[in-house]
Amino acid sequence: MSKKMLGDIMRQAQKLQTEMAKMQEEAKKKTVEATAGGGMVTAVASGAGDIISIKIEKDVVNPDDVEMLQDLILAAVNEALRRAQEMVNSEMSKLTGGLQLPGLGGLGKLF
């Protein structure tokens, strides 16, 4: 491999790395929403993998059935986090053209 080819590959890799860092910063600002229990519990997650908010409808709050509320919260939060990861992976795929690049395996996972 010539020095020119190697230099071109290195420049492309640096450009991709810069674009990936930019995409990750942008993803942190984006949010996704998921619900459970027919919309009784709503969780919002960021592309950084943080839960931004949880909304619980009054009708689902029953002191005699706290376990159901806990299950609904877990379901909404887990789905919101799954959707956030899916969003990040989709954005990453746009940059890499769907290629799984060696040595970059963890960059698609922000959390």
**4: helix, coil or strand?**
helix
Domains of the chain: which residue ranges?
Answer: 3-97
Cα(37)–Cα(34) distance, integer angstroms? 11
How much is the pTM?
A: 0.73
CA 44 to chain centroid: 11
CA 83 to CA 7: how far, in whole Å?
A: 38
Domain 3-97 falls in which CATH fold? Ybab; Chain: A; (3.30.1310)
Cα angle 104-76-57, degrees, rounded to a multiple of 5: 150
Cα–Cα distance, 60 to 41 (Å, whole number): 8
Average pLDDT by consecutive 10-residue portion of the chain (111 residues)?
Answer: 83 84 86 96 94 96 94 97 91 72 47 43
